């Protein structure tokens, strides 16, 4: 190319004013934008299934349940019909926002004496005594009955087809499958259902799950009763009683989902909704109330002063979780106090902006004990052409849950019961037919009285921390819905101190350590999906986390 030609080309390029030039995005890809419907999920084929339901005329609730069922097949280490569900549902026609708690109960015979008699000081993470009754299937049916336009028979068909004909295992889930499956390699029932030729499936392997296909067919034909009162229930009871966990047919039949009133606070013109206990949502709201009083915009994003305030707010909020998170029908919980602006102001005053606190206790009198944990979960969100919106999370807790597979069904049972306390004075102590401390939390943020962002961040006790970081990334630092989820995350845990993903500014670790924090470099933390609703322009904007195999499917 001649110099003359090159100069001529330059003259044809429009010159942009400095204030019109947008910085290079920090995300690895652009957000997905569409008009008619959108599904964001942590597995591309599952997201496509949800989109297929939307294109067939189903609404956001129909698509969410179909996507969740597919994820139970494609990401069995994280979710399935043996787990629990929480959801927020916005119906555009009525303007209603409803919350669903479809978490399971302990058996009627579960109590402190059971564990004392066996010499246990805590509930094992894996095994039968960690199992609570699965709430997911009843949750699916309850959602469809109230808000869906399709039934279980229709929405389960795509997952059944993939289970029978096979699906290729995605990359990150293959890695999860291999690393987590080792713990159960000696269990013939587990390996028979979830290994191939004695090994976990590799990335790209096409596998089937005929047993889970059978289970889904039973549910499609017989509804929730086929799971809680039929052949599936009988096999579940037999397997758990063989393992000395006193689950009965009556325990399964008694499982129910509850419609609950979402809890809420505001943050700089946005109204944030979470679900009430037994989930962690109140911690996210308390953190936001604490942080709203600081000038975060004046700080560099992910700088040491910013991370310090975030971590200190987290520690205060989680001290309240540790003391007060339990089944609200079985204990008096000060939720309204904890999520109030006045309490947030009092908690904010406990933070030294230059120094990490040495000891953090709840601001409401109570005994304290740590119940948090890292979990394996899937989050998905759906918005349809009518702007009905679903924020939905489905989990079996730890990788492969309890590790127990119900014979002949492909059902992995969750281990949520591991989060009960054996402290007789704690509100989260194990008792008959009680819901345990729960980590999974869907979220939704409103602006001008309508949904603005439907989102979630997976990962045990990271979830409230992730919710807050995503919101601050967008509200305080102007990130788009994809950038907000991809930005490097910080987290805190009592045992591990402050974890920082790669990508934080130079010097942050040293500065935080000088402030009294223990800091470590962490691997990828959690996973995120989100849909932003732009009502003015009539578009949906989706983000999906590269930390997972996720994707946004849209039309």
Given 142, 362, 377, 509, the catalytic residue: 377
For tokens 């964001």, what's the residue?
Answer: 40
CATH of span 260-368+458-526: 1.10.246.130
Q: For the purposes of burial, counting CB atoms within 10 Å of the CB of 302, is it exposed (0-12), middle (13-18) or buried (19 or more)?
A: buried
In this predicted model, what pLDDT tens digit does every residue of 353-401 receive, in sequence order? 999 998 888 877 644 444 444 556 889 999 999 999 999 999 999 999 9
Token readout for 124 is 């094992």
Give helix 157-165 / helix 44-55 axis angle, nearest 10°: 140
Helices (H), 35-111: 44-55, 60-74
Specify whether 377 is catalytic.
yes
Question: Looking at the predicted structure, is the pLDDT value of residue 441 above 70?
Answer: yes
Above pLDDT 70, what percent of the chain?
93
How much is the pLDDT for 19? Answer: 36
Q: How high does pLDDT run on average in the chain?
A: 92
Cβ pair 310, 285 in contact under 8 A:
no
Cβ pair 263, 425 in contact under 8 A:
no
Phi, psi of 337 (to 5 degrees): -65, -45
pTM of the model: 0.93
Token readout for 38 is 């959108």
d(CA 212, CA 210): 5
Residues in the chain: 555
Of the given ranges (6-10, 38-42, 235-239), which has the lowest mean pLDDT? 6-10
CA distances, 393 to each of 45, 87, 511 (Å): 17, 6, 36
How confident is the model over 338-356, as a mean pLDDT? 96
Domain boundaries, the chain: 42-258+373-419, 260-368+458-526
How much is the pLDDT for 364? Answer: 77
What confidence category does residue 504 fall into, taking pLDDT thresholds of 50, 70 and 90? very high
């Amino acid at each position: 190319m001649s110099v003359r030609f090159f100069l001529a080309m330059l003259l044809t390029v429009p010159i942009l004013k400095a204030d019109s030039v947008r910085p290079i995005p920090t995300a690895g890809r652009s957000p997905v934008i569409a008009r008619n419907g959108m599904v964001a999920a942590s597995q591309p084929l599952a997201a496509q299934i949800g989109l297929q339901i939307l294109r067939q005329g189903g609404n956001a609730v129909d698509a969410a349940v179909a996507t969740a069922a597919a994820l139970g097949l494609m990401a069995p280490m994280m979710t399935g019909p043996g787990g629990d569900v929480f959801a927020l549902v916005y119906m555009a026609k009525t303007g209603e926002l409803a919350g669903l708690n479809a978490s399971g109960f302990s058996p009627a015979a579960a109590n402190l004496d059971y564990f004392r008699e066996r010499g246990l000081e805590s509930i094992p993470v894996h095994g039968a005594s960690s199992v609570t009754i699965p709430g997911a299937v009843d949750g699916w049916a309850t959602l469809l009955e109230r808000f869906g336009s399709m039934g279980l028979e229709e929405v389960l068909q795509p997952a059944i087809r993939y289970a029978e004909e096979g699906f290729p295992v995605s990359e990150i889930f293959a890695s999860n499958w291999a690393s987590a499956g080792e713990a159960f390699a000696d269990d013939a029932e587990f390996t028979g259902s979830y290994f191939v030729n004695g090994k976990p499936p590799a990335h790209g392997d096409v596998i089937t799950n005929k047993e889970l296909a059978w289970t889904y067919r039973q549910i499609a034909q017989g509804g929730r009763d086929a799971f809680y009162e039929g052949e599936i229930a009988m096999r579940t009871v037999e397997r758990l009683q063989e393992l000395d966990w006193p689950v009965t047919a009556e325990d399964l039949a008694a499982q129910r989902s509850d419609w609950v009133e979402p809890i809420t606070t505001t943050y700089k013109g946005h109204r944030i909704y979470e679900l009430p206990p037994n989930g962690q949502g109140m911690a996210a709201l308390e953190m936001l109330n604490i942080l709203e009083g600081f000038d975060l915009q004046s700080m560099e994003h992910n700088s040491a002063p910013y991370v310090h305030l975030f971590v200190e707010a987290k520690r205060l909020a989680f001290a309240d979780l540790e003391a007060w998170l339990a089944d609200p029908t079985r204990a008096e919980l000060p939720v309204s106090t904890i999520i109030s602006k006045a309490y947030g102001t009092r908690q904010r005053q406990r933070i030294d902006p230059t120094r990490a606190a040495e000891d953090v206790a709840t601001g409401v009198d109570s005994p304290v004990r740590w119940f948090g944990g890292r979990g394996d979960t899937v989050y998905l969100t759906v918005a349809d052409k009518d702007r009905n919106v679903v924020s939905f999370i489905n989990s079996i807790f730890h990788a492969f849950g309890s590790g127990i597979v119900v014979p002949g069904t492909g059902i992995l049972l969750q281990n949520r019961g591991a989060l009960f306390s054996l402290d007789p004075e704690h509100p989260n102590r194990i008792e008959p037919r009680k819901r345990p401390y729960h980590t999974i939390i869907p979220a939704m943020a409103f602006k001008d009285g309508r949904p603005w962002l439907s989102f979630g961040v997976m990962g045990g006790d990271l979830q409230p921390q992730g919710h807050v970081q995503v919101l601050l990334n967008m509200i305080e630092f102007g990130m788009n819905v994809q950038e907000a989820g991809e930005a490097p995350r910080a987290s805190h845990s009592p045992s591990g101190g402050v974890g920082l993903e790669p990508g934080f500014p130079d010097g942050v670790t040293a500065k935080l350590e000088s402030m009294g924090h223990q800091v470590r470099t962490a691997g990828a933390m959690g996973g995120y999906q989100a849909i932003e609703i732009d009502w003015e322009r009539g578009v949906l904007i989706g983000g999906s986390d590269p930390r997972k195999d996720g994707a946004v499917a849209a039309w």
